[in-house]
Amino acid sequence: MPEAEAARPTPNAWRNSGPDDENRPSLPEVHASVAVPQGGLWLRRMLAFAGPGYMVSVGYMDPGNWATDLAGGSQFGYTLLAVVMLSNLMAILLQSLAARLGIVTGRDLAQACRHHYPRPVNLMLWVACEAAIIACDLAEVIGTAIALNLLFGIPLIGGALITALDAFLVLLLMQRGFRYLEAFVIALLAVIAGCFIVQIAAAAPPVAAVLQGFVPSAEIVMNPEMLYIAIGILGATVMPHNLYLHSSIVQTRAYPRTEEGRRDAITWATADSTIALMLALFVNAAILILAASVFHGSGHTEVAEIGQAFELLSPLLGLDIASTLFAVALLASGLNSTVTATLAGQIVMEGFLRLRLPHWARRLLTRGLAIIPVVVVTAIFGERGTAQLLVFSQVVLSMQLPFAVIPLVRFVTDRSKMGSFAVPGWVATLSWIVATAIVVLNLKLLYDTVLA
């Protein structure tokens, strides 16, 4: 890409305003580092943009999803499949908005917030997002530790401590190039999907009951216990830190920074994230369907712990390898999630605070904040305590969603910032409906769990 074209200003009010540091690109070490062919078959351009969506999708099938999906399927059968589907549709919409923001403005969501809001508001948004990242880290630590325990007999506390080493894995991959990081993520996603294909085939759930589960039911809102799990599924599916992540990593593509180049980039980035999130829908639905078919269907309605599911899966399915596949998929999920949490943490800290720590130091800091509560809870309450902590972490994630979703929708609907790239009226209306629904559901959860 010619230098003059790369430096051409973005057609919106944010670009080239403020000191040079204000215009520092997000993730500068990999910014525009992946070549995008400008001619030839459309398939080549699509493949060039494939990757960020799969990295984002990791957060939609991390160990936190396992806890909420297992609890939902074992307690309520297929009913909460509707929540999984609706959450995924919300995710597809919101991630497309995040990609649009990054491509059009050249800023990630954290940078956009820092530029638009006063410092006290930015500090509040930063604290909320860091809480979400710690909650996500918490789920990864617990999930990975449980997987190591199930596969290799490593005690939970030891497994939690081992997860601190993932900082060096991410650093190694990043040094080799962003495409290597994406390839690592996609390979582990293929392992997860393959494991669940085998398990679902063995479970052979009734198709009619599964399809009925995708139809929304009023009982989901009226039943407080079901709503709690539903909000947990929402928090585990629509990940607030992924909005910051996606708005940044789409900029790793070396698309022309022109109006035509940006429109083309938006098209392919949206296709990439939509396809990847459909894979996340399959995995999330598969976990819930497996729990509903194997556990709920056999009267084991209280299976909410991953360890319980591991012990019961092979005997109930009559397939010796089922439990091993379940644990392998969990380990792959936990390892994969470390990549997105690492990058999201860097993006948030640099975007809101312009604070740049060495990657290993920032990662060890946030991972330490997640490891400490896991070690303490495990030492006091054992595995049952970590299972409850896992579900609670997903509810915390859901509570942080409005702090990311509302600014995002506010920015992409603002023509003074996005110019001709502002979303159409019907998309803006739908986005505000989604944002409002998230806020209302969270207020309902607060009332049911704290005030009622």
DSSP 9: P
Element (H, E) at 182: helix 178-203
Q: What percent of the chain has pLDDT over 90?
A: 39
Instruction: Please give the pLDDT value at position 423.
Output: 95
Per-residue pLDDT at 167 = 66
77 by DSSP, 3-state: which? coil
What pLDDT score was predicted for residue 242? 87
Q: CA-to-CA distance for 135 and 216, rounded, in angstroms?
A: 28
Complete domains list, the chain, with CATH = 41-451 (1.20.1740.10)
236-274, pLDDT tens digit by residue? 667 788 899 999 999 999 999 999 999 999 999 999 999
Query: What's the confidence (pLDDT) of residue 20?
Result: 46
State the pLDDT at residue 439: 78
pLDDT at 451: 58
Residue position matching structure tokens 């999907």: 193
- Find the farthest-apart pair of alpha carbons in the chain and give their distance in angstroms, rounded: 67
Task: Please answer whether residues 412 and 101 qualify as being in contact, where contact means their C-beta atoms are separated by less than 8 angstroms.
Answer: yes
Whole-number pLDDT of residue 231: 78
Phi, psi of 213 (to 5 degrees): -65, -25
Q: DSSP state, 8?
A: S
Residue 309, pLDDT score: 86
pLDDT given at position 382: 67
| Among 52, 50, 56, 81, CA closest to 68 | 81
DSSP annotation of 393 reads H
Q: Name residues of the chain where pLDDT drops below 50.
A: 1-11, 16-20
With a CB cutoff of 8 Å and minimum separation 6, the contacts of 45 are: 36, 37, 264, 268
Q: Is 419 left (phi over 0), alpha (psi -120 to 50) or beta?
A: left
Global pTM? 0.87
Q: Which residues pair with 253 in a beta bridge?
A: 34
- The count of C-alpha atoms lying within 13 angstroms of the C-alpha of 415, restricted to the half-sphere facing its C-beta, is 3
Res 19: pLDDT? 46
The partner residues of 34 in beta bridges, in order of sequence, read: 253
